[in-house]
Structure 1
């Protein structure tokens, strides 16, 4: 009898926790937003996931956000599955989250959970507080001007080789050459990032290149599936060895193994940098003082290198794809860019890094492309404490601890 009562009580408690997680908590938070006069809508359990997924299937990934902004304005409440959030493209609210009240916000838990499934937490992208400060301090030398300059000639040579392949392929075809530009730019930027991170041997080894590319592709596709079937956000379920998670874990494990192998070869002097100076791997492995806190372990170097590859090549590929699209659809802008480049190159013998500072119009085109087509369209932050943010119209919105604030960069940039 007592055993039966225990099981019944346990079952009721589990049911209560599920109802609270999926329905009561989201409803109470969104009711609080409504009482503050924040527009929006509440859809139990699934939230806006189905609308977002349908927008992607329709090949209009931003249409839902744009329609919601038209309907509700510059800020509104919604939910991603059972997670309520405040969406905003209001400059005042964005400034409050990223600047004025930045001490009350961390990177969103959901976003960190999604990315950490492949990248882990030990990298400058996902680390928090003192750990983030440590990672940021140790990767700072990578972005020093002289180190980046030493890699530019290598980047230029890789690009020239890539263009030569296009020319040869085009000459061998009797019909006009048709290319998937996003795929081509992804391959080009992966070549560049792989060369600048891992060195000449990794860049020239097509097996390593294809291995990294295919694993990144599989992991990205699997993470997208797990987002929209909500398995990545459900407690306990997200950690079960389901097929999607096993594939992501395998991709992460395979890339990590090959990265650790490359790191070990570099430590033994069996490989070298592609560029004239030290590459990213040299800089990550280099000394930062005698204290072990000022050094990366091989595991941390692997995670940082993988972060550079994943974050660097996809965002740059997206930028270049949109830039080429906009140049083709704006022939007058294309002509002015071409004239500027021709003028600068005619004034110099060969390629020099100093030439880049003279490409003012080309730089403006790239910046405008970034503004109109930001590679990262949403930035999510989770409140670590109760706080109040202020909109441009003066409205004050109270954000409770644990609430996500989604910054719609794609909307504010247009």
Structure 2
């Protein structure tokens, strides 16, 4: 009898020995799956690397395609980084209206820590006293309506210089036997750069043949290139010390070049202030930053020269790239849609005429031009995934449990193509905005190219003025045509990701001066 019990126990205990680990695995899997069900839906990732290979060279487009399978809120893991993607107006409204404070920090990539850039940056600094001070200075000193209005003449000068450069370049092309074709994006960037230069430093920094300006622009272009390169060290933190792809080393070099050039401008101004016995009447933003001495509230009593340098450099990044890329896309769409080009040209002709130059104060009289800009921003937001946010604490978002330190991407590109919000969303139709009160100031969540909430782009009001003025001037000053050889390139809407969303093949077109009344351009 005893041996029978021994035999029976042996028959039961041996299988249990093997089944127990299996049981533990099954229970653990059920617990994990139960927790996962509280996350938004998304594709299953690979071990360790997660969903890295689900995204390619145009991640905003890849995420947009995932929406049709997984819905407007998607969960991904990039290595060890939890990521939530927002891709509908409703989900964006929930984020910005009810969870803005929870997701108000920034997810900073390793490369943007180069030269401690993130610590001085307005866009990338942590939400706190320093950020609030710089934001307040921008809002009250640089971008307040009174100052923006008072600097209209500077922007108009920069835009008129651009049209002169375009005309000169086209004439030079014809003189050498060419067609007179120009690369529009080059002159748009020069113009945008000088607009920022005048507001920040009270000077033009670039002309088509400026060596110093070219050196600065080259350094900035390299910084912008490396800032968006996928870096495995961001997703697998244990590799950060190795910098296996060399991206941060390259960024340190080029960021250092750009910061050195700006630091020279800052040092020069500091020396001028020391030796000047009088206070400037018309102060630029560099003066404002250098003279800040605290306001009796939170934060530092002054802003270090290092951080002043970083802030000025950031304004060049943000102000020049976003503006020039938006105008280029608008010109591309108008050349691909001749009926829209005809309508905006007729509006400018009838309201402004050909005998006087268009000015910023005329923009309210040009509703179709405004609709063209809105439609361009809907289809081609400058930063398609906005600037990544970071969860400061665990939260419940739309019924999902979102853990602290989750990266949050808002796909403004996908939101602009939301079929529930827009009729025929893939077509360029400025008419959809006529007679409708839809703006891009962060309150209409179907159109948020500049974001929303407390971390909305601080410079969008200034950028708005430059985009409208420059676009109207290009249309008023020239008739534009595309050679037959270029037609396929113009129609090709293939995108290139950088700090902003660019056209892969830059726009080239032939300008013909429209009137002699602006012969002084």
**TM-score > 0.5, shorter chain as reference:** yes
Measured after TM superposition, the shift of residue 324 of structure 1 is 0.7
* 1:364 is the counterpart of 2:361: no
Correspondence for 1:245 among 245, 248, 268: 248
Q: Is 1:188 equivalent to 2:191 in the alignment?
A: yes
- Specify the alignment match of 1:411 in structure 2: 414
Asked if structure 2 preserves the Cα contact closer than 8 Å seen for 1:385 and 1:402, the reply is yes
User: 2:40·2:74 contact (CA, 8 Å) conserved in 1?
Assistant: no
Kept in 2, the 8 Å contact 1:197–1:279? The answer is: yes
Encode CA deviations 1:12-33: one digit per residue, 9 max, x unaligned.
Answer: xxxxxxxxxxxxxxxx988733
Distance 1:82 1:101 in 2: 23
Distance 1:339 1:109, change over 3 A: same
Question: Larger % of helix: which?
Answer: 1
**Structure 2: any 5+ residue segments left out of the alignment?**
1-30, 418-521
2:382 corresponding residue in structure 1: 375
Distance 1:389 1:237 in 2: 32
Aligned to 2:362: 355
The residue matched to 1:405 in structure 2 has which SS?
A: strand
- Secondary structure at the aligned position of 2:133 is classed as helix
SS of 1:132's equivalent in the other structure is helix
> Map of 1:6-405 to 2, 5 A cutoff?
32-34=35-37, 38-53=41-56, 56=57, 62-111=60-109, 113-117=110-114, 119-127=117-125, 128-140=127-139, 141-172=141-172, 173=174, 174-200=177-203, 202-203=205-206, 206-225=210-229, 227-228=230-231, 230-235=232-237, 237-240=239-242, 243-269=246-272, 277-287=282-292, 293=300, 295-346=302-353, 352-379=359-386, 380-390=388-398, 396-405=399-408
Q: Which has the larger radius of gyration?
A: 2
SS of structure 2 residue aligned to 1:219: helix
Matched-pair contact (CA < 8 Å) for 2:166–2:182: no
What is the number of residues matched between the two proteins?
A: 372
Are 1:195 and 1:203, in contact at CA under 8 Å, matched by a contact in 2? no
Shift of 1:286: 4.0
Q: CA 1:69/1:170 → structure 2, altered by over 3 Å: closer, same or farther?
A: same
State the match for 1:3 in structure 2.
none
Query: 1:293: Cα distance to partner?
Result: 3.4
Q: Give the Å deviation of 1:203.
A: 4.1
- Kept in 1: contact 2:193–2:206 (CA 8 A): no
- How far apart in 1 are the matches of 2:59 and 2:40? 28
TM-score normalised to structure 2 length: 0.64
Quick one: distance in 2 between partners of 1:82 and 1:295?
A: 38
Q: Is the 1:85–1:406 Cα contact (8 Å) retained in structure 2?
A: yes
User: Residue 289 of structure 1: CA displacement?
Assistant: 5.7
Q: Structure 2 vs 1, CA of residues 32 and 251 (structure 1 numbering), >3 Å: closer, same or farther? A: same
In the TM superposition, what is the alpha-carbon distance from 1:304 to its structure 2 partner? 1.0
CA gap 1:347/1:109 in 2 versus in 1, 3 angstroms: same
> For 2:85, what is the secondary structure of its paired residue?
strand
Q: Go from structure 1 to structure 2 and tell me whether the alpha carbon gap of 1:69 and 1:179 turns closer, same or farther (over 3 Å shift).
A: farther
Q: 1:30 to 1:295 in 2, by over 3 A?
A: farther
Q: 1:371 to 1:93 in 2, by over 3 A?
A: same
Once the two structures are superposed, what CA deviation does each residue of 1:125-160 show, in whole Å capped at 9, x if it has no partner?
122222211221222210011211233222222222
Counterpart CA distance in 1 for 2:402 and 2:329 is 36
**DSSP 3-state at the match of 2:55:** helix
CA distance in 2, matches of 1:89, 1:180: 34
Aligned to 1:12: none
- Aligned mates of 2:327, 2:178 — CA distance in 1: 25
Give 1:233 shift.
4.2
Contact 1:105 1:384 in 2 (8 A): yes
Q: CA deviation at 1:184?
A: 4.0
TM-score, normalisation: structure 1: 0.79
